Structure 1
Amino acid sequence: MFSSIKSTLSPFFTLFLLLLSLDLIVASHRQTTGSDNPEPECAGRWVHVRKLPSRFNLDLLTNCSDYPLYDDFCPYLANHGLGHKTHNRSRSWYRTDSFMLELIFHRRILEYPCLTSDPSTADAIFLPYYAGIDALRYLFVPDINSSAEHGLDLFRFLQSDSPHVWQRHAGHDHFLVMARAAWDFSRPLTNDPPIWGTSFLELPEFYNVTALTLESRAWPWQEHAIPYPTSFHPPNLQLLDSWIARVRRARRTILMVFAGGGGTSSTPNIRRSIRTECSNKTGISTSSSSIIIKPCEFIDCSNGVCEHDPIRYMRTMLQSSFCLQPPGDTPTRRSTFDGILAGCIPVFFEEQSAKAQFGWHLPEEQYGEFSVFILKEEVVFKGLSIIDVLTAIPKAEVRRMREKVIELIPRIMYRRHGSSLGLRAKKDAFDLAVEGTINRIKSRLTEDGLGVR
């Protein structure tokens, strides 16, 4: 399992990886013995977890301080990818890195109530491959063309190890998590000169596999977007209910907040417009009262300073009625889910930021009930004031929208592994992702005439 561990690793970190491995082995024993919870009805919900060599998952963590994209992501491996607690007394808040979703999902699926050790009876087959972490070694090598090889080693293994499992449905019933935007795995195989990304999703060998990504392309074929992990991972229902109660009673003394970076260049763009509008406003009155509130708060999260420190932005989000979610390098943002967690109504500026992405978790037909949409071109090129749009929304409507946002909190969070039975009764982001995947697989098998059990 640990043949590739470097001799320079500290004894502490070697022990950490050993304990992580043992914990996964104990959890995976449930797949062999069957679920210890007899209540769930598992017909049509069976999942089999493929046993992959450790080079496809745990071994990839042994170089966690050496990948070029990060200075060191070793601290974020703790608690099966949740990261360390924000402080010693915290029970629900962690310094979570979104790119650790592959570890989080791997640990959670091993306590899924409908696991089967027989792949022939499974409705879906999960590949515990840390694709996003493995991609780093292809993105930063002298010969960047090797990026086209990302995934081929996995495919060769699936073809040689119990090949009938793969061949039964030509991979249609397999799925995996790729904790990056789909763009990072979509470099054309024939591209010359090479551009950013690996070609995993462009390989014909994986065309039939369902990939759960943090952001999907506008023409999703293989992939479907699932929520970015936030820092909130409650272990029981009491702590979830306590947080929701705090969100409900929060005093919203700020109209809108933007937590992010960018917008400093002279080129017209939505982030620059938001910064300009925030800096030019002082106090305003609400449309239904004479209370003076702060119109806009800007939290500078440049250079990733907010990513592992929820205290930097959650307090302000709790005080704000609206959270602005402008696109950046790509359309989606983790901040969308941080804001929902705080009961802060999201304001989107293009549909690819959420509406065309997270249909299993944020129902598309309900977007008008929990979010505001303002076309970015209206703001950037026509001078539309975001503050004017938001202050024009009646106070009663704002309250209704916030209540809808609060109802979404359990759907977009990833509860902690090993959580209490009461909390497990509520479907979280993981549960909805697995449910959506199984339904997608069944639909595709039916459409392609491959049949379902």
Structure 2
Amino acid sequence: MANTWNGSDDPVTRIHRQCRWSTSTLQMTDLESDTTSECTNRWIHIRHLPSQFNIDLLANCSEYPLFDDFCPYLPNHGLGQKTHNRSHSWYRTDSHMLELIFHRRMLEYPCLTSDPDAADAIYLPYYAGIDSIRYLYGPDVNSSFEHGLDLFQFLRHYDSSHIWGKHNGHDHFVVMARPAWDFSQPLSNDPPIWGTSFLELPEFYNLTALTLESRAWPWQEQAIPYPTSFHPPNMALLDSWVSRVRRSRRTTLMLFAGGGGVSASPNIRRSIRLECENSTSTSIGNSGYSKLCDFVDCSNGICEHDPIRFMRPMLQSSFCLQPPGDTPTRRSTFDGIVAGCIPVFFEDQAAKSQYGWHLPEEQYGEFSVFIQKEDVVFKGVRILDVLTSIPRARVRRMRESVLELIPRVMYRKHGSSLGLRNKNDAFDIAIEGTLQRIKSRLAEISVR
């Protein structure tokens, strides 16, 4: 196996060591009396799974050439390598590593219990997205309907099967670091087309799945933010970044960082590219901007692990365009928020109907702009006209609202300082939302 990690302190070894530490300290956590009142209705049990469902999967990090060699993104428990040696907050984070990031953060969750019967929710540390790679790009592509069956057999028939059986999985949750579409291939597809059938298996209908993008109808799916490259370890570094974002001179009206839009057929990305190419300095007028539109070409994934490529332009732009691509949502939405760049959406599925826990639906008008993509593509509506018509005072208020969202959409670094731990980040909000959803679901089935 062509694994790039060697030595006794590689990422896999460190995660193994951390997992052993968590197991040995769970009982001590239970005995902390001051925590008991704060943890009422918030206790979580981490289900012990054989390493084949998490740690062992990382050993295959270089075996899927059609996907990518994801070995470079494993350091720092999934945050990836630092962007440069002196960086304290910025990493080359791959969004598919969210399962590792979440697992590591769960180990320092303050309300862990070793007693599953005392838990309000049970976390499955299964790296579902990483395990799916062998079905999507690897040797098991024709067996994608089997994804998850081994896990179910373990939960239902082996090693304390009563934990799953107590509520038939209604109290369990898992993180899946891919869009739900990648796990929702109908079982009837023969031969398989794309995706695994994990979320289509009746065995997992009761499981709460936290995904990077959810579908509109299944109750058990909930989208949580894509990880950005920003993971501050303390409050001072977060405050310093927010201050920098607030001071940044916004010399560009709008920015599109992405790929696509080069085909001849009408689509929103093509319309954005054409409008950006046709915007000239002569049309700036009294807008106050030195450039109306900027374009950062992120084709072929060249921006994904290089935040410097797009963060500087985002810091200089008032609005960041977030058109849908292969799926409605984009990591760029959260990169832009971290940069204080006001998001411009072109369909509700892009964020409004996805991230209700982190981006409250009733507040979208305060921090974002919505332009129907069909109006742009087929009716001649110019994005520049819409954005330049927004009064400057309102733009300033919208940017302040975006700044307030930064802590909510970032995943702070594990082991962060106490001050930062007191401010809810994307992980904390996801946990609270999950607990509420499971509580409501259990209450609902109890009265049937």
TM range (shorter): over 0.9
Residue matched to 2:186: 188
Residue range with higher mean Cα deviation, 7-16 or 344-353: 7-16
Q: Could you report, residue by residue, the CA deviation over 1:373-423 in whole angstroms, capped at 9, with x for unpaired residues?
A: 000000000110000000000000000100000000000000000000000
Which residue does 2:24 correspond to in 1? 29
Q: In structure 1, how many angstroms separate the alpha carbons of the residues matched to 2:28 and 2:393?
A: 53
- Give unpaired runs (5+ residues) of structure 2: none
Partners of 2:3 and 2:60 within 8 A in 1: no
2-structure distance, mates of 1:144, 1:156: 21
Cα distance, 1:322–1:151 mapped onto 2, change above 3 Å = same
Query: What does 1:357-372 correspond to in 2, within 5 Å?
Result: 357-372=354-369
1:342 paired with 2:350, answer no
Counting only pairs closer than 5 Å after superposition, residues 240-279 of structure 1 correspond to structure 2 as: 240-279=238-277
What is the Cα deviation at residue 290 of structure 1?
A: 6.0
Choose from 145, 154, 158 the match for 1:157: 154
Quickly say closer, same or farther: Cα 1:450–1:50, change in 2 above 3 A: farther
8 Å Cα contact 1:283-1:292 kept in structure 2: no
* CA distance in structure 1 between the aligned counterparts of 2:389 and 2:338, rounded to whole angstroms: 24
1:52 to 49, 54, 62: 49
Partners of 1:381 and 1:331 in 2: CA distance = 19
What residue identity is the alignment partner of 1:444?
A: R
Aligned to 1:223: 221
> Aligned pair in 2 of structure 1 residues 38, 30: CA closer, same or farther (>3 Å)?
farther
Cα-Cα RMSD: 1.8
Q: Give yes or no for contact 1:412–1:429 (8 Å, CA) kept in 2.
A: yes
Aligned to 2:105: 108
Query: CA distance change for structure 1 residues 10 and 86 in 2, over 3 Å: closer, same or farther?
Result: closer
Give the secondary structure class of the aligned counterpart of 2:64: coil
Gaps of 5+ in 1: 1-5
What residue in structure 1 maps to residue 171 of structure 2? 173
Deviations 1:62-88 (A, max 9, x none): 010112443311010000000000000
Report the counterpart of residue 403 of structure 1 in structure 2. Answer: 400
Distance 1:53 1:228 in 2: 27
Of the three residues 196, 200, 207, the one matched with 1:209 is 207
Which residue among 6, 14, 17 is the counterpart of 1:11? Answer: 6
TM-score between both structures, scaled by the size of structure 2: 0.96
Mean alpha-carbon deviation: is it higher for 142-151 or for 41-50? 142-151
* Aligned partners of 1:306 and 1:313 also within 8 Å: yes
Query: Hey, what's the Cα distance between the residues in 2 that align with 1:296 and 1:327?
Result: 19
Identity %: 71
Distance 2:403 2:251 in 1: 18
* Counterpart-to-counterpart distance in 2, 1:157 and 1:366: 43
> In the alignment, what sits opposite 1:3?
none
Whether the 8 Å contact between 1:284 and 1:295 is mirrored in structure 2 is no
Query: What's the offset of the Cα at 1:140?
Result: 3.1
Q: 2:44, 2:2 → 1: CA distance?
A: 37
Deviation at residue 284 of structure 1 after TM alignment: 6.3
Partner Cα separation in structure 1 for residue 229 and residue 8 of structure 2: 23
Report the alpha carbon displacement of residue 222 of structure 1 after superposing the two structures with TM: 1.9
Residues 235-384 of structure 1 correspond to what in structure 2 (within 5 A)? 235-283=233-281, 289=286, 291-384=288-381
Letter in structure 2 aligned against 1:300: D
SS of equivalent residue, structure 2 residue 173: strand
Deviation at 1:307, TM superposition (A): 0.2
TM-superposed CA distance for 1:38, in Å, is: 3.7
Residue 446 of structure 1 deviates from its aligned partner by: 1.3
Secondary structure (helix, strand or coil) at the match of 2:408 reads helix
Aligned-pair CA distance for 1:60: 0.1
Amino acid at match of 2:12: L
C-alpha displacement at 1:428, in angstroms?
Answer: 0.2
Equivalent of 2:15, from 17, 20, 24? Answer: 20
1:123 to 120, 123, 130: 120
1:412 matched to 2:446: no
CA distance 1:183–1:95, change in 2 (3 Å)? same
Q: 1:28 to 1:395 in 2, by over 3 A?
A: farther
